[in-house]
């Protein structure tokens, strides 16, 4: 009756407990009672069976110790342990994911360092070629003509004024070519106010084999200096690529506003290539895409065989003002970023 009132819960069925008690004369275990208010009371119970001289059952001695608080503490500890283990597993997964991202970033930066070195070598080769094919030829011609004039003077012969004018013309040509190379090497100061002027200067250089034209729509407006500098370098790389590979009749650089922000287009009417061509994975395209990402933009390339190529850089309405706001995945070490900033 009392057990029914307490709604006692035993670790084993009562018949088995009785069997053990009568066999071993003792039993012990945990019993859970439920009070009237619903609270559970856990006791550690010991039963001892005493027999008379003839071995008959005389009485049963039962002792109970309240272990409710201890069991509640153990349950709380077990719950905390499971929670801790779960959080450790979650944190381990997070750290593994972060480590994977870090490894990928390290591999990306290592690859980018190699690409920067490749760009540096390519620029040195290009400048060396321009110096050899342009400036050196001009200076050689000047030296030849000056030597010719000197020989005439030594022989007391009449000097043709046209020869002197030709020498002056070649010297001016050499100076102009030197200025072009100097501007190419020092165009790291392009800002928002000077972007259009820098692009105009870019397309007017005499080093291009293909005529270039700049179009600036009245709606185009830019205030961010970082974005302007990167846009200039993207345009320059696109113009260089078009001159080298497109076999075009004309290259057009256009600045305009779209519903999504500012847009740069560099379009040629050359031979083009398939969109799945390996040219789309070239170093120049990769660097242009990276520059677009630095300023929160998006680079797209569309090309078809015999229909030309268009490189487009879309900038959001509010370009990124500072690279300090970038997350860790986008930023580069200062040394690499500085090197990349001055290269094509």
Largest CA-CA distance found in the chain, in angstroms, rounded: 159
What single string gives the DSSP state of each residue in 22-72? HHHSEEEEEEEEE-TTS-EEEEEEEEEEEE-TTS-EEEEEEEEEE-HHHHH
Taking alpha carbons only, the member of 344, 341, 339 closest to residue 243 is 344
Distance CA 104, CA 191 (A): 33
Phi, psi of 75 (to 5 degrees): -65, -40
DSSP state of 157: P
Instruction: Confirm if 332 and 109 have CB atoms less than 8 A apart.
Output: yes
- Calculated CA dihedral for residues 161, 163, 164, 170, nearest 10 degrees: 150
Show Cβ contacts of residue 241 under 8 Å, excluding neighbours closer than 6 positions.
284, 285, 311
* Inter-axis angle of helices 161-185 and 137-154, nearest 10: 150
- Per-residue pLDDT of the chain (344 residues), as tens digits, is 455 556 788 999 989 999 999 999 999 999 998 888 888 899 999 999 998 888 888 888 999 999 999 999 999 999 999 999 999 999 999 999 999 999 988 887 777 777 767 766 776 777 777 677 767 877 888 888 888 888 888 887 777 788 788 888 888 877 877 776 666 655 557 888 989 998 998 888 766 778 899 999 988 888 889 899 899 989 988 998 888 888 888 999 999 988 888 999 999 988 887 655 555 556 678 888 888 988 899 999 888 777 889 999 999 875 444 343 444 444 444 544 444 444 44
Structure tokens at 225: 């200096």
Whether the predicted model's global pTM rises above the 0.95 cut: no
Taking alpha carbons only, the member of 344, 247, 254, 258 closest to residue 303 is 247
């Amino acid at each position: 009756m009392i057990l029914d009132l307490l709604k006692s819960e035993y670790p084993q069925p009562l018949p088995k407990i009785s069997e053990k008690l009568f066999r071993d004369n003792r039993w012990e275990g945990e019993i859970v009672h439920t009070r009237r208010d619903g609270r559970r009371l856990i006791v550690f119970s010991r039963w001892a069976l005493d027999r008379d001289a003839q071995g008959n059952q005389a009485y049963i001695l039962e002792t109970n110790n309240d272990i409710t608080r201890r069991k509640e503490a153990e349950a709380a500890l077990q719950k905390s342990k499971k929670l801790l283990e779960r959080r450790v597993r979650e944190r381990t997964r997070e750290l593994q994911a972060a480590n994977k991202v870090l490894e990928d970033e390290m591999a990306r930066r290592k690859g980018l360092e190699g690409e920067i070195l490749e760009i540096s070598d390519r620029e040195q080769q290009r400048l060396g070629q321009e110096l050899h094919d342009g400036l050196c030829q001009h200076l050689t011609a000047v030296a030849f003509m000056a030597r010719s004039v000197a020989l005439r003077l030594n022989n007391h012969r009449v000097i043709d004024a046209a020869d002197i004018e030709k020498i002056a013309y070649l010297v001016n040509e050499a100076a102009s070519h030197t200025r072009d190379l100097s501007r190419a090497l020092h165009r790291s100061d392009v800002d928002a106010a000077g972007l259009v002027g820098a692009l105009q200067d870019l397309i007017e250089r005499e080093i291009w084999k293909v005529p270039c034209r700049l179009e600036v729509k009245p709606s185009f407006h830019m205030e961010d200096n970082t974005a302007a500098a990167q846009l200039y370098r993207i345009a320059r790389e696109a113009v260089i690529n078009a001159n080298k590979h497109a076999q075009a009749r004309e290259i057009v650089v256009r600045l305009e506003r779209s519903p999504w922000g500012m847009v740069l287009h560099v379009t040629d009417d050359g031979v083009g290539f398939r969109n799945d061509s390996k040219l789309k994975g070239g170093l120049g395209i990769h660097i242009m895409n990276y520059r677009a990402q630095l300023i929160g933009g998006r680079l797209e390339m569309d090309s078809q065989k015999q229909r030309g190529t268009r490189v487009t850089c879309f900038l959001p309405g509010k370009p990124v003002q500072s690279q300090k706001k970038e997350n860790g995945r986008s930023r580069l070490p200062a040394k690499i970023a500085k090197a990349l900033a001055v290269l094509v």
